[in-house]
Amino acid sequence: MSDQPVLSVRGLRKRFKTGRGWAGRSGQLEAVAGVDLDLHRGEVLGIVGESGSGKTTLGRCVLRLIEPSSGEVELEGSDFLALRGRTLRRRRKRLGVVFQDPYSSLNPRMQIGRIVAEPLRAQGKMRGRDIGARITELLTLVGIEPHFATRYPHEMSGGQRQRVAIARALATDPDLLVADEPVSALDVSVQAQILNLLLDLKREGSLSMIFISHDLAVVERVADRIAVMYEGRIVESAPTRRLIEHPLHPYTQALLSAVSSVDPAFHRDRVRLRADLGRPGHRADGCPLAGRCPDVQDVCHNEVPELEETRTGHWTACHLAAVRED
Name the residue ranges covered by the structural domains of the chain.
7-18+28-325
- Residue 111: what pLDDT? 95
**Which among 23-32, 75-84, 196-205 has the top mean pLDDT?**
75-84
- Residue 257: what pLDDT? 86
pLDDT tens digits along 275-314? 765 555 445 578 989 888 888 888 988 899 999 998 899 9
Confidence of residue 92 (pLDDT cuts 50, 70, 90): confident
Model's pTM, two decimal places? 0.88
Over residues 125-144, mean pLDDT: 85
| Cβ neighbours for 163, distance < 8 A, ≥ 6 positions apart | 142, 143, 144, 194, 197
Confidence of residue 155 (pLDDT cuts 50, 70, 90): very high
Nearest to 219 by CA among 69, 18, 48, 9: 48
pLDDT tens digits along 177-190? 999 988 887 778 77
Percentage with pLDDT > 70 across the chain: 89
210 half-sphere exposure, CB direction, 13 A CA radius: 28
Instruction: Give the range among 111-115, 129-133, 189-193, 250-254 with minimum mean pLDDT.
Output: 189-193
Residue 133 has pLDDT above 80, yes or no: yes
Nearest to 132 by CA among 111, 160, 159, 152: 111
Please provide the average confidence, as pLDDT, over all residues in the chain: 86
Query: Residues 276, 321, 54, 218: is their CA dihedral positive or negative?
Result: negative
Query: Residues 42, 43, 47, 48: is their CA dihedral positive or negative?
Result: positive
Out of 3.40.50.1580, 3.40.50.300, 3.50.50.60, 2.60.40.10, which CATH number does the structure's domain 7-18+28-325 have? 3.40.50.300
**Higher per-residue confidence, 241 vs 173:** 241
- Residue 233: what pLDDT? 94
pLDDT tens digits along 192-239? 888 888 888 778 767 899 999 988 888 998 999 999 999 999 999 999
20 neighbors 11 (Cβ within 8 angstroms): no
311 half-sphere exposure, CB direction, 13 A CA radius: 16
